[in-house]
Structure 1
Amino acid sequence: MTTHSATLPATPPQGPPSDRRVLAEAARRADDLLAGLPAPPARDAAQHEAASTALDGIRALRTHYMEAHAEEIYDELTAGRTRYLRIDELVRAAATACPGLVPTDEQMADERSRKQADKEGREIDQGIFLRGILRAPKAGPHLLDAMLRPTPRALRLLPEFAASGVVRMEAVRLERRDGVAYLTLCRDDCLNAEDAQQVEDMETAVDLALLDPSVRMGLVRGGEMSHPRYRGRRVFCAGVNLKKLSSGDIPLVDFLLRRELGYLNKIVRGVFTDGSWRSRLIDKPWMAAVDSFAIGGGAQLLLVFDHVLAASDSYISLPAAKEGIIPGAANYRLTRFTGPRVARQVILGGRQLRADEPDARTLVDEVVPPEGMDAAIEAALARLDGDAVLANRRMVNLAEEPPEGFGRYMAEFALQQALRIYGADVIGKVGRFGAGPA
């Protein structure tokens, strides 16, 4: 099919960026041009240039529009901030209320049906929208609160968990024993590699642990593996599932952003409720136990826990340079643990830290022989169960990670991570990872 770049001007249509009609018309013209082109990998140089010009033009308009009208749009979508919409609900509502601002449900369904290399990159447009909302002084904090509310799935499962003390999900097994919520990562075939299902199950489990008044604290540990290389051994987490990233199944909204704004932020701050005058957040102490390794997202997890125990033969790494993506909020958090030099070595240079080396002790509170992990866990949980621990961890977290600073970081992360997952280098790298074992 032959298409000419002249079908869309290099500069966006004239008109004020506040005019929704101008935005909708520019988006329609860009979509018409893209629809007339082959899938991205099959485009020739001229077609790539035409697509790039069209996308740059409409994305500039969307950026300007969000800079001018983020608060207005958010108030419209949330009825003056009286409704709490999660990020997935928010982008869908925006697609209906403001045509051309974000991709439609149909466009996103088409994107989800493609491999990462074949996608148009429409999640970048979601990133532009969410960056604008998270930057806004009133909308941003409200959206963060919305993401701290318990999920409907957790509320449905809460009576079952309160009664039985057990909930088994695909990626996480949750058990309550003696006031401790034990969250066991149980993706035994893929070394607990993360995907959208793991994020769904982890947020559900964190919500249940926080909402159940019988739970005083939570512990996260990896279960025993059936994977050939680690059969019968516990593994903490291998990070993002690169096979699924290559196949197009690691979404921006439902994985990369939900993970940071959802269960990880709930571990730090608690779950948001309409409860006591003392606090609208229910928070509890959390501990992690690392067996074998904590890679990528697994290492990011360690940065939100109150106590981290590691087996002496385990290691920690953030292979961001190797994968080409941003390691969640690690760029925001890691420096305060390790200092700037080690943080750069780990994030930019891919340095791996053995649990028993000195620099790792900034991330790990205790290192014990593998055979001593169970006893060490029980002893550490007992120490974390003091009456004043909860109030003090709340104040430490507030001092170290104020919500406004976290919101500013996540605003920029929303766009920069979207750009990275569609970078040519990332698509090439995850394509090679995707061809190998998980």
Structure 2
Amino acid sequence: MSKRRYFGTDGIRGRANSHPMTAEVALRVGLAAGKLFMSGDDRRHLVVIGKDTRLSGYMIEPALVAGFASVGMDVRTFGPLPTPGVAMMTRSMRADLGVMISASHNSFADNGIKLFGPDGYKLSDEMELKIEALMHEDLGQGLADADALGRVKRIDDAQARYVEIAKATFPRKMNLNGLRIAVDCANGAGYRVAPTTLYELGADVFPVGVEPNGLNINAECGSTHPRTLSEAVKRYGADIGIALDGDADRLALCDEKGRVIDGDQIMALIARDWAKRGILTGGGIVATVMSNLGLERVLKADGLTLERTQVGDRYVMECMREGGFNVGGEQSGHLILSRHATTGDGLIAALQVLAVLVESGKPMSELAAQFEPVPQKLKNVRHSGGNPLADKGVTDAIAAGQTRLNGSGRVVVRASGTEPLIRIMAEGDDAKLVNAVVDEIAEAVKAAG
């Protein structure tokens, strides 16, 4: 595969107003992607664009719109809308392309561009490489004539449409009456749709992180900062807490005691419930190399499999599609339920958990204990560039760690696809040994620079 200059594991991402997250690059993306998805026939071609609440969205969106319109594509903008909502609307509006402007769980200073095909799925590596190639051609070629420029409109009811789609995934004969739910929307794309959905299903809703100002997205709130949700659960006496990230495709939960529930436990809960109901497909689920060994063991005890992929929800989805699975995700809370959505959807995943909570009548603290996690440690080491994973000292430390675990655990070391970090994870039944292995590899990475 050719080297990717712009696209990482989840679209293009970077610090706003610095390369590659500039208005110029966004314009080039619009021009290039527009040309690629214009089929050459006489019909009108359509691209839909959503965004989260970052200040820089006001810079990136117009640049994309200009690029698409200049090659003759019609544009529909949604304003703030969860990433999965953009994917859904791409399909339902029969658009040729969907775009989400977001840097997901990163701080406001970053932004990103994610692209979806007409089927609502993230573009393949091959398609992203084609866009990159077009971005470096003479973009003055192939522009539309003055009378064939794209037309741009705002879709004002996009959020309401998504709310209805989300509500339809909850069992029709069930409601959330009497359930107290704290929901932390990370001051992001779900700040309206998530509380509205829960309220319309009958819950008593206690929202936090619903006052975006362009700078406070993910700021000490949301799924990557679950302490805020935990405190809200305790403060309001909630039965459950739900936290989304900035673009609402990631989920964290808290039980009624304020204890955080990670993506592995949520996947186990949904998968085992769906298996009992006869709607789980593929004979198991798909997760990444980072998911806990305890998840694999509890699924195996139920006669279910765990297929592992490299980190990135796009790779999880690819494996799901190839193997016919309808549940997959990441420990971090990216949960893909392909029965309902084509990408991770924090709100829809939460609704599936709420259905189990209502039907079982059990407290969330009991439902959350799906398995006993194997001791696991994750450490991120920042580096100054280059490829520390090619350093002999690092490769030797990784090999030594694997040998020390002696088949009773795992070591996973990888470079982040979005930041200059090396992510080191080890797990095994001996917590002390696991910690030592991670620390030794981390020291080797630091020494490599």
| TM-score exceeds 0.5 | no
TM-score (norm 2): 0.27
Instruction: Say which structure is richer in strand.
Output: 2
TM-score (norm 1): 0.28
Instruction: Say which structure is richer in helix.
Output: 1
Q: Of the two structures, which has the highest relative contact order with CA contacts closer than 8 Å and spacing of 6 or more?
A: 1
